Structure 1
Amino acid sequence: MADLSERLKKIRMLILDVDGVMTDCRVFMDSSGEWRRFFSIRDGYGIARLKEAGFKTAVITGSKARDIQERVRHLQIDFFYEGHLEKMSCLQELAQTSGLKFEEMAYMGDDEFDVPILEAVGFAATVSDAMESAQKCAHYVAKRPAGNGAVREICELLMKHATPKPATGKDK
């Protein structure tokens, strides 16, 4: 836990995947024919508290959908990248834009698309029901499953151990 605590102390930004992290991967079609996802209110509150504590937030997702855009806007996520299955270029742009180093970033992902970022950041987290490839390279596997409190668990962990400083780069 000492190594984990040292990693967490450096973190100033939490980056999240959406499907399989912020949601449980299930979708339904609403009455207008649009796909919709379920998001956890507890996770959202954790993100809000994390932002209040001074952390920056970002979402990098392979999906491009209105419900995700609405959730990101509602949560006032600082940086948003959608429709990117190859996510490392987004992480590099995010580092440049935010002025943060990879070691100051935490990422929470769940699948093979997330592995390159999980291996690059200072703190890599995943959900309890993540794919094995993601769990193998995570520094921490949440006790909770995707879309059901796992994001909140990571937010609480970050707030317990890290003390964010203002980012030096441009904020969106």
Structure 2
Amino acid sequence: MKTLATFLLISLLAGCVTIQSNIKSDAIPTFKRILVVTKLRKAPESYVQGFVKSFPVTYEVCTVALSPLSFDNPDEAVRKQAEACQSDVILTLELSKTGHSSRYNSVPYEYNAEMSSVATGQPFWKAIISSNPTYGERVPPRSVVKRLLKDHIIEGKLPESLQALN
């Protein structure tokens, strides 16, 4: 019974994120180094590090969390981090619509996600992500990585610790 309850809870939580994506197949570069950029109001460093742990082990992942409270130039911060990590591509996740929950309804958070080549600056994967207010202003990194795998943008398997949650 406990296993069934755990399965139902995980299924319920996994169903709280929907992702619609579009792929420009002829523009997908070969890459192994990814810079994940979050443009969220309330994303602590521990959240962004969740992306590092979620990608297949064959990828090197760096992160940068941009905040409206930062005085740094966002484009410059991304450029510096991409250079420091020698990133091939940049995955950007940006909050586009703030959700809310009330007694009678729940409006999802919406995010725009985009993966682009560092060399050309051209995007090759775009997504609109809707997330239940349960998660707050955070899309589960595992959900994004699973979609990248499904869309054949990246290859491999989720790390062992995350496979149990599928």
TM-score when normalising by structure 2: 0.44
Name the structure with the higher strand share: 2
Name the structure with the higher helix share: 1
Rg larger in structure: 2
TM-score when normalising by structure 1: 0.43
Q: Which has the higher contact order (CA 8 A, sep 6+)?
A: 1
